[in-house]
Amino acid sequence: MSEKKKTDKKFVAAPEYPGGNAALKKFINGNLRYPEEALNKQVEGVVHVSYTVTNDGNVEDILVKKGIGYGCDEEAVRVISLLKYEPAHNRGFDTIPKSV
């Protein structure tokens, strides 16, 4: 007679920004100051960054993966450093995952 294995349902929960993606976008848009140099050169684009959310929800190890220059990369790092997440959990314990 085979016995069914019970599965722990408390698997990894990724870090979440309070209010979800809509709140995250609103926060970024509300805090982003487009650099003067980028405005003068009419530079537009997306800065890709990676970062770590610590077990207390702060952001660290911010790395520009693909930048566009003219002050935009530095501004992206500044705004990302202001974020405060709900930390990730794995089986009830805080974890430190990598985010993008």
* 10-64 pLDDT per residue, tens: 567 888 999 999 999 999 999 999 999 999 999 999 999 999 998 889 999 999 9
pLDDT band at 9 (very low <50, low <70, confident <90, very high): low
In a domain, 72, yes or no: yes
CATH number of the domain bearing residue 71:
3.30.2420.10
In a domain, 2, yes or no: no
* 62-79 pLDDT per residue, tens: 999 999 999 999 999 999
Q: Which domain holds residue 64?
A: 20-99
Residue 59: strand pairing partners: 53
pTM: 0.79
Largest CA distance in the chain: 75
Of residues 9 and 28, more confidently modeled: 28
DSSP state of 21: H
Q: Single out the residue of 32, 36, 68, 34 nearest to residue 49, CA to CA.
A: 68
Q: Which residue in the block uniquely carries the two structure tokens 């930390």?
A: 87
